[in-house]
Amino acid sequence: MRDYFMATGDNPTAYRYIDWILTVPLMCVEFYLLTRLAGATKTLLWKLIIASTWMLVAGYIGEAFSDGSTSHSVTWGVLSTVGYLYVLYTAWFGEVAQLAANSKSEVIQKGVKALAWFVLVGWAIYPIGYMCMDGGWLNNAFGWTSQNVDLFYNIADAINKIGFGLVVYNIAVTESK
């Protein structure tokens, strides 16, 4: 992504989404694995994977095929947000939250709650970046140019990937003891 940006000056949108299409479903796998002992099903796993993939495919269409219009940006941004809200709901109130609450392990309960916070706060940084593209709301309202798209995405990736990893690592170490 860095080399692409250095060579072209453009946002490395395709590489960004190739990264996400691998790593975001893997984060959904974490939710499944952590709640599996408490009874999580493969159906739950697939619902999370499909919702997050939907979120990313819609976001990619919004960015890669943008004509610079606000209507294109908003339409695909809203469609993407539907997938995001599904994952968010599942982590906070839906199956994942319920299974974690029923888990006998306090570490799992706290850990899944911490991951749910990442989905609520950390993941919400991405739409801010998205809205900086040409035609996006923040671009229109505050003149935040499309250069800021990658600024927000990079900050969000650092927070979410490192944060998620540390929470899961901590759960694994504590449970092993």
Ligand X SMILES: *C/C=C(C)/C=C/C=C(C)/C=C/C1=C(C)CCCC1(C)C
Find the shortest distance in angstroms from Cβ 69 to ligand X: 16
Find the shortest distance in angstroms from Cβ 168 to ligand X: 13
The answer for 40, left when phi > 0, alpha when psi is -120 to 50, beta otherwise, is beta
- Binding to ligand X by residue 56, rule CB under 6 A? yes
Asked if 56 and 21 touch (Cβ cutoff 8 Å), the reply is: yes
Q: Using alpha carbons only, what angle is made at residue 71 by residues 67 and 72, rounded to the nearest 5 degrees?
A: 45
Which residue from 12, 24, 30, 44 is in contact with ligand X, where contact means CB under 6 A?
A: 24
Q: Which residue has the tokens 């099903």?
A: 41
- Binding to ligand X by residue 171, rule CB under 6 A? no
Which string of x and - marks every residue 114-133 that binds ligand X (by CB under 6 A)? Answer: ---------x--xx--x---
- Binding to ligand X by residue 135, rule CB under 6 A? no
CA distance 83 to 92: 14
Site for ligand X, residues 84 to 103, rule: CB under 6 A = 84
SS3 call for 128: helix
Which residue from 50, 154, 161, 168 is in contact with ligand X, where contact means CB under 6 A?
A: 161
From 103, 79, 81, select the one nearest 31 (Cα to Cα): 103
Where does this chain bind ligand X (CB under 6 A)?
Answer: 20, 23-24, 55-56, 59, 62, 77, 80-81, 84, 123, 126-127, 130, 157, 160-161
